[in-house]
Amino acid sequence: MRRGGLVLAGVAVAVLLLAALYPVDAITTHLGERFQGPSVSHPLGTDGLGRDVLARLAAGTRLSVWFTLLAVALCAVVGTLAGLLSGYAGGAAAAVVQRLVDILVAVPTVIVGLVVVAVREPGLGSLLIAVLLTGWAPFARLAHQLTLRERSREYVEGAVAIGAGPVRIAVRHVVPNALRPLVAHACLRFANVLLSIAGLSFLGLGAQPPTPEWGAMLAEGRQYLFVAPQLVLIPAVAVVGTSLLVTLLGRQLEGRWSSQ
C-alpha cells in the first residue's frame, strides 16, 4: 500500500515536470481563437483571450509548484533553527518563542497577506513574505519538541558526559535524528502553503496578470464559469490534486520512517 502511494506520487511528480516543459506560448493573446475546445493544437482548449490553457497550466506549474517549494524550504530552515535554539535555550527564551508560535499558528495566512500588501504592493515578493511570516511557526513547534526529545536520550547524556558542546551535539545527534520527521512534515505543509498561495493569488495579492499561476487562473476563469467551466475546473484540479498527492507522499514517509 505504501509502495503504491509512493509510485503514484512519483508518477504525479513526473507529470508535473513534463507539463512544466510544455513549449507553447502562455502569454500572447489570440482574440480570434477565444473559447476553443480541445484540439491537436490546443489539447485543453483556449481561454477568454485565446491563450492556450495547457500552456498556461504548464507555466503555472513552474510558478506555483516551484514557488511553493521555495516557500516551504525557507519556512523549514527558519522554523527548524528557531525550534532548535529555543529547545536548547529553555527558560524564558523558549517560552517567548513558543507563545509567538502559538499566536502565528492561529493567524490565517490570508489576513497576514492583506496586511503585507497594505504595506507593500501585490506581487510574488509580498506573497513570499506573507507565507514566511506564518509558515515557519509549525516547523519551529515540531523542531522544539524533537530537540527536547533528543536531548533526553541516553546517547546525548553520554556525549555531554565526555565533554561534547551544544553545537556538536546539535549537529551530530539532534539534527540528523530530527531530519526525517521534519522532511515528512514539510511534505504535509506543502499542501497548506500551496493552497495559501493559490488563495492569495485568487484575491489578486500574488502573481499579477498576465503571469500564469493556478490561483490567478481561477480568478480569471470565474467570470466565464457558465460559458467555459473548464477554465475554473482545470486549475482547481491541479491545485487540489497536487496538494493531495504531496500530502499522500508525506503520510507515506511519515508512516514508513515511524515504523523503522
User: In which residue are the cell numbers 467570470 written?
Assistant: 223
**Within a domain: residue 62?**
yes
User: In which residue are the cell numbers 523558549 written?
Assistant: 94
Instruction: Report the distance separating Cα 256 and Cα 45, nearest Å.
Output: 41
**Within a domain: residue 36?**
no
**pTM for the full predicted model:** 0.85
Count of domains in the chain? 1
**Within a domain: residue 139?**
yes
Torsional sign, CA 115, 119, 123, 125: negative
> CATH number, domain at 157?
1.10.3720.10
Residue 23: what pLDDT? 67
**Within a domain: residue 19?**
no
Query: What distance, in Å, lies between the first and last C-alpha atoms of the chain?
Result: 16
CB neighbour class for 78 (10 Å; exposed up to 12, middle 13-18, buried from 19)? middle
Residue 9: what pLDDT? 60
Residue 22: what pLDDT? 65
CB contact set of 258 (below 8 Å; sequence gap of 6+): none
For 68, 75, 153, 246, 252, the CA distances from 139, given in Å and listed in that order, are 15, 7, 21, 17, 19
* Domain extent at residue 180: 2-13+47-258
Angle (CA) 186 141 5, round 5°: 25
**Within a domain: residue 22?**
no
DSSP readout, 123-170? SHHHHHHHHHHHHHHHHHHHHHHHHHHHHTSHHHHHHHHTT--HHHHI
**Within a domain: residue 21?**
no
Residue 59: what pLDDT? 85
Pick the closest to residue 217 from 51, 103, 85, 92 (CA basis): 51
Instruction: Say how many CA atoms lie within 13 Å of 149 toward its Cβ.
Output: 11
Spell out, as residue ranges, where the chain has pLDDT lower than 70. Answer: 1-24, 154-157, 159-161, 163-171, 173, 256-260
Residue 48 and residue 34 in contact, taking contact as beta carbons nearer than 8 Å = yes
Q: Which tens digits make up the pLDDT trace of 190-226?
A: 989 999 899 888 888 888 888 888 999 999 999 888 8
User: In which residue are the cell numbers 473548464 written?
Assistant: 230
**Within a domain: residue 206?**
yes
**Within a domain: residue 32?**
no
Supply 96's cell numbers.
Answer: 517567548
